[in-house]
Amino acid sequence: MIDAARGELVRGLMASPAVVVEAPGEPTAAMAKAAERFESLLLSQVLSAAMPEESSLMGSGPGTHIYKGWLETYLADHLAAAGGLGLQDAILRQFGGSS
């Protein structure tokens, strides 16, 4: 039974299309979006560390941490979309694109 499942897995992997590596040049839309999401994730972590657990902005009470997380994510997404820390350009250059 295990050998049959393993054989099926290997056949599935062998039948899957190979990874296509693009030549260096202009960054694709997927690369640009991935770089933006990465910067947004990094900014979210920075904001999370910078914002105090208890703040007068969010108040206190049950569920406050949920709203704090939403605020951090919202700010991080919009900061990254507006250019953020400039990491998107550096990431795209590093992975073969020019920005």
Spans of the chain, pLDDT less than 70: 1-27, 55-58, 97-99
Classify residue 43: in a domain, yes or no.
yes
Say how many domains are in the chain: 1
Q: Is the dihedral of CA 17, 21, 25, 31 positive or negative?
A: positive
* pLDDT of amino acid 78: 94
Classify residue 52: in a domain, yes or no.
yes
- How far apart (Å, rounded) are the C-alpha atoms in residues 56 and 67? 13
Classify residue 21: in a domain, yes or no.
no
Tokens standing for 89? Answer: 């350009």
- Global pTM exceeds 0.75: no
Question: What is the residue range of 31's domain?
Answer: 26-94
From 99, 85, 97, 98, select the one nearest 45 (Cα to Cα): 85
- How far apart (Å, rounded) are the C-alpha atoms in residues 78 and 74? 6
